Amino acid sequence: MPADNQQSKAHSRRPGSIERAAEVVGDRWTILVLREAFFGVRRYGEMARNLGIARNVLASRLKRLVADGLLERRRYRRDPDWYEYVLTDAGRELYGAVLALLRWADRHYPDDEDLDLVLRHRGCGKRTHAKVVCSACGEELDPRDVEAKVAKPRHPGA
C-alpha cells in the first residue's frame, strides 16, 4: 500500500475533533479576537485599535465567530445601529485553551519586550495560570501519561 494511502487511512481512524476545532479557531487573528473578548473588549473599534488589524480582516473574523457560535452580535445603540460582540457559552469554554497557549508561549517563547500579563483569580485573590488536570483525580496531565484510544463511533453507520 502506498505511503500516502497508509497516512490517510491512519488519519481517518482518529476522531476529527482537533481538526474541527482548528477549522474554527486555527488562525492568528481569530485567536487574537477571542483574546480581546476574554479581556472584556466588545466593540469593533476598540478591537481594531488594540489589535492593529485591517478592518476588513476584523469584520471577516467577527462574522465567522458569530456564524460559528463563539460570539453573539448585540445591538447596543440605535440611530445609527451600533453593535457589540459578546462571548457565548461556547466561546467562554475556549478560555482555558487560550490561557494554556498563553502559559506555553510565556514559558517557551518569551519576549523580552513583551509586557508580563498577571492573572489573578477573583475568588481567592491569588495569581494563577492555566493547568490541564485529570478531571477524575486532579493530577496534571502529561501526554506521556495519557492513553488515547478510539472508541466506537458516536453515530453508528456514519
Residues 6+ apart with CB under 8 A from 55: 48
Write the pLDDT tens digit of every residue in 29-88.
999 999 999 999 999 999 999 999 999 999 999 999 999 999 999 999 999 999 999 999
Q: How many domains is the chain built from?
A: 1
Q: Does 154 fall in a domain?
A: no
Is 136 part of any domain? yes
- Residue 36: predicted pLDDT: 97
- Amino acid (one-letter) located at 64: R
Distances (CA, A) of 61 to 53, 80, 105, 131, 135: 11, 23, 23, 28, 32
Residue 117 has pLDDT above 80, yes or no: yes
Give the pLDDT confidence score for residue 157 in this predicted structure: 60
Answer whether residue 131 shows pLDDT above 70: yes
Q: Is residue 157 part of a domain?
A: no
Residue 96 belongs to domain with CATH number:
1.10.10.10
Whether 73 is covered by a domain: the verdict is yes
Predicted model pTM = 0.82
Report how far residue 96's alpha carbon sits from residue 135's, in angstroms, rounded to the nearest whole number: 14
Residue 12 exposure: Cα atoms within 13 Å on the Cβ side? 7
158 to each of 10, 16, 18, 23, 31, how far by Cα in Å? 17, 13, 19, 21, 31
pLDDT level of residue 14 (50, 70, 90 thresholds): confident
